[in-house]
Structure 1
Amino acid sequence: MSITPASVQDEPLSLADRAFLQLQDRLIFLDIPPGAPLNEGRLSQELQLGRTPLREALKRLESEHLVVTYSRRGTFATTVDITALSEISQVREVLEPLAAQLAAERRGGGVRSQLEELRDRLANPENERLDRDEALRWDVRIHRAIYAAAGNSHLQATLERYSNLATRIWCVVADRIPELQEHITVHSALLTAVLEGEADEAAGIMRTHVRDFETQIRQVL
């Protein structure tokens, strides 16, 4: 499943944007392992892109704390700092409910049709058997859609950054979280609250969801 942000799904992507999104996906889901080097020549061939857009993408990824560049050594995927969980959760616990509230007040705004599609797809019985990777991608895509629906580009950018960092932590411990499917199915209620304009309900569901995320991770650390 693609996890392209909802706000850009219908817009043409520049070569740098395309490289950024593909590498971001690999980095947050640990397909590129933490600490691994990113070889520009190899990536340029894999993504079928020139060095200039690739380097632009890497600069953006560095600003998102997903890669780090060392002089004369090259660029590497950042390590996953599990000790940052509390700080990340503190920010998300405040801003994620706000995004859900704003999204509900706008009843999905310009991405309403995408929220409806996500809710309909969640209702598919096949989603009762999601594997770990699919479940994680559902979580990311739904959160990004809510951020876009809030209609605040600054809030959206901030939450996408912290969500990416949180997802990397989650990927480290996901195999040890038995309630992973339950963590995902709560999104049906969240999407319904947003689409029906239930702002307080949407904020409450999101707040509990974020708190449960931290609790589940701490239980397996």
Structure 2
Amino acid sequence: MTELTKQTKGERAYAMLEEQIVTLQLPPGQLVSEKMLSDHLGLGRTPVRDAIKQLSREGLMVILPKRGIMISEIDVLRQLELLEARREIERYVVGAAARRCKAGERSRFLELADLMLEAAAMHDGEGFLKLDKEFNERILIAARNRYASAMMRLVQGLSRRFFFAHHQSTTSLAEIARLHAGIAEAIARRQEREAREWLDRLIENVETFTRATLDTV
């Protein structure tokens, strides 16, 4: 779809850096510079600078005056705080997506449900995360509320990185995929109440998983 394929250089820089941070290729605590990232991505300084500002707003980077840029640390307690806000905002968003989803959008939600289940069956955490990113973006497009979308984007990267860092030791990828598939199918069928119920189950699972990491870190 147009919304997902057309990217400016700044958006491309953001997408590349966000993926590398979420998948720990750029690990928590690493110090980087604008020039280093520009050379690494093969993009100019201006789009990279714009991406850094956005990632800083989302909590994935920390700008350190006169020292450079640090990839933010993973903080379990902050993640639990994030989940409190995410639950309420995301309940609205998935309900709105189910209510406003257009006919042309529904088939992709059903495809994503199947693809996420397949990724989980193959124990492909990184592949699942890529599908999850598209899934999240399509939900925001279908919800058609720019303010709710802006709020959700502030927490999605941190949530995905936390999951990638800890899911192998504390949760079942198959169960997470099943819950995501339930949301996707409910949205595709325009079942607003069911979409929210699946979301509630997902957030409960993620909160349990997050608390479990306190015993493993």
2:132 corresponds to: 139
Matched residue, 1:197: 190
| CA distance in 2 between partners of 1:67 and 1:196 (Å) | 38
- Supply the AA of the counterpart residue of 2:40: E
**Stretch moving more, 136-145 or 40-49:** 136-145
Tell me how far apart the structure 1 counterparts of residues 96 and 103 of structure 2 sit (CA, whole Å).
9
SS at match of 2:43: coil
Higher mean C-alpha deviation, range 175-184 or range 97-106: 175-184
Which stretch of structure 1 is more off in the superposition, 128-137 or 108-117? 108-117
Match of 2:91 among 91, 97, 111: 97
Match of 1:130 among 123, 127, 142: 123
Which of 155, 165, 168 is matched with 2:148 structurally? 155
In 1, the alpha carbon distance for the partners of 2:171 and 2:75 equals 22
| CA pair 69-115 structure 1, distance change in 2 beyond 3 A | same
Moved over 6 A (4+): none
Deviation at 1:186, TM superposition (A): 2.1
Q: What is the RMSD computed on CA atoms of the aligned residues?
A: 2.2
Q: Measure the CA separation in 1 of the matches of 2:123 and 2:114.
A: 15
Q: Distance in 1 between matches of 2:133 and 2:116?
A: 14
Match of 1:14, as an amino acid?
T
- Is the deviation greater in 77-86 or in 105-114? 105-114
Moved more, 115-124 or 186-195: 115-124
Unpaired runs of 5+ in structure 1?
1-5
Q: Which of residues 176, 183, 204 is equivalent to 1:211?
A: 204
Q: TM-score, normalised by structure 2?
A: 0.88
Q: Are 2:70 and 1:68 aligned?
A: no
Change (3 A) 1:85 1:220: same
* Alignment-mate amino acid for residue 62 of structure 1: S
Check 1:24–1:95 CA distance in 2 against 1; reply closer, same or farther (3 A cut): same
C-alpha distance in 2, partners of 1:179/1:83?
A: 21
Asked if 1:9 is matched to 2:4, the reply is: yes
The code of the aligned residue for 1:56 comes to D
- Paired residue type of 1:13: Q
Q: Judging changes above 3 Å, is the alpha-carbon distance between structure 1 residues 132 and 119 closer, same or farther for their aligned structure 2 residues?
A: closer
Matches within 5 A, 1:116-127: 116-122=110-116, 127=120
Is 2:40 aligned against 1:40?
A: no
CA distance in 2, matches of 1:52, 1:197: 41
- Asked if 2 retains the 8 angstrom alpha-carbon contact of 1:95 and 1:159, the reply is yes
The secondary structure found in structure 1 opposite 2:28 is coil
Tell me, which stretches of 5 or more residues in structure 2 are unaligned?
A: none
Q: Normalising to structure 1: TM-score of the pair? A: 0.86
Q: Tell me the CA shift for residue 202 of structure 1.
A: 0.6
Instruction: State the alpha-carbon separation in 1 of the partners of residues 73 and 8 from structure 2.
Output: 28
